Structure 1
Amino acid sequence: MLKWALIFAIISLVAGVLGFTGVAAGAASIAKVLFFIFVVLCVLFLVLGVTVFKAVD
């Protein structure tokens, strides 16, 4: 998911440089949403991993 967020961020930068502001804004918003979903899932799995690891020991 982080890979897709980076791809959309690069698309946004290239589109912004070329003057396609609508495409740049759309790609930037998609990249932002994907990045925050990635962060939430990463923290969730980290917390679950720590709690399950303690429960198994």
Structure 2
Amino acid sequence: MADNSKKHPANPSSCRHCGNPRSEHTYPRSGPMDCHGYEEPTERQILARMLARRAART
């Protein structure tokens, strides 16, 4: 079975670490991979995500 969880590029304003939206960063979190809060992406990440979304549309 194919993994379709990441079929679309991340939203440009999603978390810099995991690419999930701010709304999915609620506390408490469990597990070692989930122990970060939302952090704004860098300008470079925003640009790369915008370009990836544009490329995916074509």
TM range (shorter): 0.3 to 0.5
**Higher helix proportion, which one?**
1
Q: Which has the higher contact order (CA 8 A, sep 6+)?
A: 2
Larger Rg: 1
Could you tell me the TM-score, scaled by structure 2's length? 0.35
